[in-house]
Amino acid sequence: MSAPHALWTSLLPADTVFPPSRVAVAARGHRITYADGRTRLCATSGLWNVPLGFGHPAITEAVAGATRDASYLSLFRAPHRYAEEAADALIALAGPDRYRRVLFSTSGGAANDAAMKLARQYWAQGGSAPRSLIVGLRGSYHGTMYGSHVLSGDDLAQSVYGVDRRAVRHVAPDDDGDDLALLLEREGARVAAVVVEPVRGSGAHALSDEFVRRLLELREQHGFLIVADEVATGFGRTGTMFATDRWAAAPDVLLLSKALTNGAMGAAVLLVGARVASAFVEGGWTFVHGETQAGTPACAAAVLAVIDELRRMDVEATTQALGLELHRLATAWKDDGIVSGITGRGCFLGLGLRHPDGRALSGPDVQDVVSAVADHGVIVHPGPSAFELIPAYGFTAGELAETDRAVRAGLAQVREASA
């Protein structure tokens, strides 16, 4: 057996060895090329990061220009014009009536850590009783930084790493808010913030309208902050610019990453609403958080180029139309007995997988399905007893048909192997 490469790949056993067919060497448009010469259609937008396609020329040119003109500028104790312009553009896009300030970060996990700190400082220095509890949802994913790891409600070996769970609680996401209400009855005076994904990245499960209504109502009653983690759902993914645009009221903090730079830079932002932003200004407080690579000129240039492209393509109309086609495709699979259920919203769908006897597929079983679909030329994303479709916004009818053929052939291959 070959020895593992020096590169230690994420989220797999350390002794995993990859054949050339699994080693990517290039990506362009909606396709990835591998070391064996094969190409595959990517139906995951590069793990949600590349909704505008790999190697988008306007974005790559913007990043190259910023790198040439200002190879690096920091946001530690001083601004730079690139970041100022990107922050202004983000507020204009998300709505100045909803958000006031922008904090730059480097990843979704780091942004979640920053949001937890921000919420705790808001209550610690706000003159009222300090609050330190952060509430998340079971089955959620917020990253694997030290803080975001414990906030994630997925089973991610948290006990192995000794993450401190004492100041985090998790509640059910699928009971229309009953579990959250019970927790708040007991500990509402200690809850600093509730953090939710409008559509959970693990399995593509959307919060119900009733859950959102209860969440907003409970905020009015108990006073906690709402942090919306839209790392996966931002920038048109669910058919509106942000999934929380459908909410009757805005969250206090909105977290964005992935599509923020179309994958060109490691980047994230926190959009902070008036309630929190005003308190820090009026109190003269300093938020003790900084990341060396956050908000660099190249990052800011990518953000501006992405926003320009989203507006040029009328992203909401584009993703609404593509979402309808995806749902038609998923419905055909369900009608034909290929998948057991459909979850998600817009261009972010989960397709349930079960054995013929009705048992849900295990993690290794799902990975077999994903590998089989890849053998037939299309990359899909594994989820809990499901696979996920997260295509780029420019997917054509031909590429949807290609996805259809690969999914059907891959699932047939798995069924035949297990017969």
Tell me the pLDDT tens digit for each residue of 341-356. 999 999 999 999 999 8
User: In the predicted model, what is the mean pLDDT of residues 261-265?
Assistant: 96
> What is the pLDDT, as a whole number, of residue 130?
84
Amino acid at 143: G
> What is the pLDDT, as a whole number, of residue 145?
82
> What is the pLDDT, as a whole number, of residue 285?
97
Tell me the pLDDT tens digit for each residue of 179-197. 999 999 999 999 999 999 9
Say if CB 56 and CB 30 are below 8 A apart: no
User: In the predicted model, what is the mean pLDDT of residues 110-129?
Assistant: 92
- Distance, in Å, from the CA atom of 36 to the CA atom of 49, rounded to the nearest integer, reads 24
Report the C-alpha dihedral over residues 382, 386, 392, 396, rounded to 10 degrees: 130
User: In the predicted model, what is the mean pLDDT of residues 53-64?
Assistant: 98
| Residue 148: pLDDT band with limits 50, 70, 90 | confident
User: What does pLDDT average to over the chain?
Assistant: 95
User: In the predicted model, what is the mean pLDDT of residues 116-122?
Assistant: 96
Q: Identify which of 94, 70, 114 has the alpha carbon closest to the alpha carbon of residue 300.
A: 70
> What is the pLDDT, as a whole number, of residue 321?
98
- Distance, in Å, from the CA atom of 307 to the CA atom of 62, rounded to the nearest integer, reads 12
Tell me the pLDDT tens digit for each residue of 222-259. 999 999 999 999 999 999 999 999 999 999 999 999 99
In what order do the strands lie in the sheet containing 381-383?
Answer: 342-345, 348-352, 386-389, 381-383
| Residue 161: pLDDT band with limits 50, 70, 90 | confident
pLDDT above 90 (res 419): no
> What is the pLDDT, as a whole number, of residue 1?
53
Count CA atoms closer than 13 A to 114's CA, side-chain side.
27
Do the strands 199-200 and 24-28 form a parallel or antiparallel pair, or are they unpaired?
unpaired
Residue by residue, DSSP assigns 107-118 as SHHHHHHHHHHH
Count of other CB atoms within 10 angstroms of residue 249: 15
| Residue 156: pLDDT band with limits 50, 70, 90 | confident
Task: Give the distance, in angstroms, between the CA of residue 289 and the centroid of all CA atoms in the same chain.
Answer: 22
> What is the pLDDT, as a whole number, of residue 143?
87
* Domains assigned to the chain: 57-312 (3.40.640.10), 314-418 (3.90.1150.10)
| Residue 203: pLDDT band with limits 50, 70, 90 | confident
pLDDT above 60 (res 295): yes
Say if CB 252 and CB 226 are below 8 A apart: yes
Tokens at 224, concatenated? 């906690």
In 3-state terms, what secondary structure has residue 339?
coil
> What is the pLDDT, as a whole number, of residue 165?
85
Q: Identify which of 42, 26, 50 has the alpha carbon closest to the alpha carbon of residue 257.
A: 50
Share of the chain above pLDDT 90, in %: 86
Amino acid at 30: H
Model confidence pTM above 0.85:
yes
- Distance, in Å, from the CA atom of 288 to the CA atom of 77, rounded to the nearest integer, reads 11
CA distances (Å), 4 to each of 12, 13, 21, 316, in order?
12, 10, 15, 44
Task: Give the distance, in angstroms, between the CA of residue 112 and the centroid of all CA atoms in the same chain.
Answer: 11
User: In the predicted model, what is the mean pLDDT of residues 95-101?
Assistant: 98
Amino acid at 88: D
Tokens at 353, concatenated? 């997988």
First-last CA distance in the chain: 29
Tell me the pLDDT tens digit for each residue of 310-329. 999 999 999 999 999 999 99
Say if CB 179 and CB 172 are below 8 A apart: yes
Do the strands 253-256 and 225-229 form a parallel or antiparallel pair, or are they unpaired?
parallel
| Residue 418: pLDDT band with limits 50, 70, 90 | confident
